[in-house]
Structure 1
Amino acid sequence: MALDLKPLADRVIVLPAAAEEKTKSGIIIPDTAKEKPQRGEVVAVGEGKISDQGVLVKSQLKVGDQVLYGKYAGTEISLDGADYLIMRESDILAVL
């Protein structure tokens, strides 16, 4: 997926996974009760962060990584009809 948005420094852009529509037992979840997703796919990565010594520390993430992040991490944006999250690399908890 080509994205015309380039994050700065140690920020990444994540496409959140779709919220669950049903429980495992088949009960349909209404929109008001859906949990905010906490996993997604990295679609863009910044260059990295400048350390206190002035050295560029490259990001450990790459485009296409499936990641887990905190429930309230990042800033939501809409671009070309899709919703994305912009967050710092440190807000990413794990790579799947």
Structure 2
Amino acid sequence: MNIKPLGDRVVTKMAEAEETTQSGIILAGSAKEKPQFAEVIAVGPGGVVDGKEVKMELKAGDKVIMSKYAGTEVKLDGEEYVIISQKDVLAIVD
């Protein structure tokens, strides 16, 4: 199955949360921070969103930093994705 985002939406796959601290302490599931790094899987077409022209600046394969609690989490074919608006992407990581 494929996800095709609409408008200024972006489908991302989150990086794995850290399971140990730098000093080697193993974190419990509830102590893990939600990661802010993700890989862009699919990008919507852009166009007019809320009366404003939106040009998509992202492409599939980009590594990005996004707002910590942005988006909608979805599970498809056993994989977890987050669908966010392009404005929730803070930076592209090279």
TM-score (norm 2): 0.91
Q: Which whole-Å CA distance do the structure 2 matches of 1:91 and 1:49 have between them?
A: 17
Deviation above 2 Å: which 4+ runs of structure 1? none
* 2:41 pairs with 1:65: no
Q: Distance in 2 between matches of 1:31 and 1:49?
A: 40
Q: Aligned Cα RMSD in Å?
A: 1.5
CA distance in 2, matches of 1:44, 1:10: 11
Q: Aligned pair 1:15/2:13, yes or no? A: yes
Alpha-carbon shift at residue 8 of structure 1 (Å) = 0.2
Provide the C-alpha distance between the structure 1 equivalents of 2:55 and 2:80, rounded to a whole number of angstroms. 26
SS class of match (1:18) = coil
Distance 2:41 2:34 in 1: 19
TM-score (norm. length: structure 1): 0.89
Give, as a single letter, the amino acid of the residue that structure 2 aligns with 1:35. E
- Structure 2 gaps, min length 5: none
1:36 equivalent in alignment to 2:34 = yes
Give me the whole-angstrom Cα distance separating, in 2, the residues matched to 1:57 and 1:32. 37
Unaligned ranges ≥5, structure 1: none
Deviation at 1:49, TM superposition (A): 3.0
Distance 1:87 1:8 in 2: 11
